Amino acid sequence: MQRFEDSIYDLIVETSTNLPGDVRRAVAAGRSLEDKATRSGLALTTIAHNIGMAERQISPICQDTGMPTFFIHTPVGGSQLEIKRDIHTAIARATRDGKLRPNSVDSLTGRNSGDNLGEGTPVIHFEQWEEEHVEVRLILKGGGCENKNIQYSLPAELEGLGKAGRDLDGIRKCVLHAVYQAQGQGCSAGFIGVGIGGDRASGYELAKQQLFRKVDDINPNQELRELEEYIMENANKLGIGTMGFGGEVTLLGCKAGVMNRLPASFFVSVAYNCWAFRRQGVLIDAGSGEIREWLYERGTGISVGEDEAAVSAAADEALTGGAAWADGAAPAEEAAHGSSPREIRLTTPISEEDIRALRVGDVVILSGDLHTGRDALHKYLTDHESPVDLNGAVIYHCGPVMLKDEEGWHVKAAGPTTSIREEPYQGDIIKKFGIRAVIGKGGMGAKTLQALNEHGGVYLNAIGGAAQYYAECIKKVDGVDFMEFGIPEAMWHLTVDGFAAIVTMDAHGNSLHADVEKDSAEKLAQFREAVFK
């Protein structure tokens, strides 16, 4: 199969940069249900714009290109060793070309391999079949949504839902709880795959395999079909909304599968996937290695609710304060005072006075210096000094996709990462360095909220997955420190202009994330009673 490596490379690029048609239609359907003047409506508009940008620029939809995971069917007699070698070569090539971010990290040393290759990466599952061609399916599932995967062992006592027994109703409660616990940290609105039965390992694999089903397919198992329909109807009643901002659209798809289990074990495994649902597949000629057929409709030219120009204009207007916010979208404090969200333009370094003037709901437009920082940097800064002055600065929870040429470094994708991982460090670092703003997605916890209040800081929620939209706001790469941490974890020093994000945690003790979680917990309780007998 002389063309096999090129075919795998094409599959990787397509999966990373171009959402399939069924996913685009699901996003468009979600947009039609959400008031465009709300925070969730704003987020969905920006998501739609980002999808179009990634397609046009052939750049990653999200900067976290995830763990490349292949499910492959091969004819009897095909060499799996040769297929694996070609996949490794294609992975390394796609990483060099900026279609994948280097994500393979040694679990003991923390060293990034730099080419997405290493022990256990990429993940490749082989199975033989009696067909004459090779089938390859690929999913790029980012770490933010992978971290919201969850597995239940029944019977169990679930928060807000009570006892979940070893029956269909217990499974129903597990799936609803899985959506609830994800909140906005997995870049909702999302898709979930549910694996019922198996052991701990096979249950998770079954759940992830469900994500390869088409969004609009119909489950042939009537009981599972009714379960999927129930979850799709009721999960959105939790009010979590896109990015966890509150709203009508929390879930875009639910697929469930079942396998036998041991008498002593009853596992329900849920694989959560963000809106950037990057999966594709191909049939490959076993003789030449050329692609014969794409397994999912390619998304090129399929709109997400409006024409591209209209989506672009709406996203720009919304994220620069032009959208009117619908009744009930503002936080309780603002609603009580009858005030409307404001657009605030700030340039770094930012004063404490300017920060304390901000309130939850304000749209902040940033210009000036921005410094990226993720897990490795936060751990380092706890015990060391910063290489740059961070007094009045902004830290961006982001691991960008970067390429270097003779002119220097260039940002290819730069959306936010999930912030809650930095909760053990963030408050101490804010106090130590005088940081005024933290940008990320999904919000942070009580320790960070207290530090924002005591030391004068805010948390700004960027739109998760909007890697092309935010990369466009980055005008210059000023330098980098700690490259030994690897490209995603290095501290990149950037100049930005017009970088828009929403205040969701302010210096007055207010947190939109805590409010939405409390509200959704109350709504979750309505699903305690049995539905499936």
| Long-range contacts formed by 171-175: CB under 8 A, 24+ apart | 171/196, 171/227, 171/268, 172/227, 172/230, 172/231, 172/527, 172/531, 172/532, 173/527, 174/268, 174/270, 175/227, 175/231, 175/235, 175/254, 175/256, 175/268, 175/270
pLDDT in the model for residue 78: 87
Residue with tokens 């739109």, as numbered in its chain: 463
What secondary structure does DSSP assign to 186-200, as a single string? Answer: T-SSEEEEEEESS-H
Q: Which two tokens stand for residue 427?
A: 């408050």
pLDDT in the model for residue 126: 96
CB of 448 closer than 8 Å to CB of 428: no
Task: Assess if residue 127 is contained within a domain.
Answer: yes
Q: Which two tokens stand for residue 137?
A: 């399916």
Q: CB atoms < 10 A from the CB of 251, how many?
A: 24
Cα 239–chain centre separation = 19
Count of structural domains within the chain? 3
Q: Which two tokens stand for residue 66?
A: 């995830």
Task: Assess if residue 311 is contained within a domain.
Answer: yes
Q: Are residues 438 and 387 in the same domain?
A: yes
pLDDT in the model for residue 533: 73
Task: Assess if residue 326 is contained within a domain.
Answer: no
Residue with tokens 């041991």, as numbered in its chain: 262
Task: Assess if residue 327 is contained within a domain.
Answer: no
CB of 182 closer than 8 Å to CB of 513: no
pLDDT in the model for residue 309: 55
Cα 321–chain centre separation = 24
Task: Assess if residue 102 is contained within a domain.
Answer: yes
Mean pLDDT of the chain: 93
* 458 vs 355: CA distance, rounded Å: 7
Q: Are residues 115 and 42 in the same domain?
A: yes
Q: Which two tokens stand for residue 395?
A: 């830290």
Q: Are residues 463 and 393 in the same domain?
A: yes
Instruction: Return the SS3 of 401.
Output: strand
Q: Are residues 269 and 346 in the same domain?
A: no
Task: Assess if residue 6 is contained within a domain.
Answer: yes
Domain containing residue 498: CATH number: 3.20.130.10
Task: Assess if residue 315 is contained within a domain.
Answer: yes
CB of 39 closer than 8 Å to CB of 243: yes
* 447 vs 56: CA distance, rounded Å: 41
* 319 vs 334: CA distance, rounded Å: 19
Reported in sequence order, the residue ranges of 376-507 that DSSP labels E, i.e. its strands, are 394-396, 401-405, 408-413, 437-440, 458-461, 474-481, 491-505
Q: Are residues 245 and 263 in the same domain?
A: yes
Q: Are residues 88 and 107 in the same domain?
A: yes
Q: Which two tokens stand for residue 457?
A: 């800081």
Task: Assess if residue 265 is contained within a domain.
Answer: yes
Q: Are residues 242 and 135 in the same domain?
A: no
Q: Spell out, as residue ranges, where the chain has pLDDT lower than 50.
A: 321-339
Q: What is the DSSP code (8-state) at residue 112?
A: B
Q: What is the domain extent for residue 393?
A: 332-509
pLDDT in the model for residue 340: 55
Q: Are residues 244 and 369 in the same domain?
A: no
Reported in sequence order, the residue ranges of 442-490 that DSSP labels E, i.e. its strands, are 458-461, 474-481
pLDDT in tens, 94-139: 999 999 999 999 999 999 999 999 999 999 999 999 999 999 999 9
Q: Are residues 377 and 299 in the same domain?
A: no
What secondary structure does DSSP assign to 32-83, as a single string? Answer: HHS-TTSHHHHHHHHHHHHHHHHHHHT--SSS---EEEEEEEEETT--HHHH
Q: Are residues 465 and 394 in the same domain?
A: yes
Q: Are residues 303 and 344 in the same domain?
A: no
Q: Are residues 410 and 519 in the same domain?
A: no
* 359 vs 448: CA distance, rounded Å: 16
Q: CB atoms < 10 A from the CB of 260, how many?
A: 7
pLDDT in the model for residue 1: 82
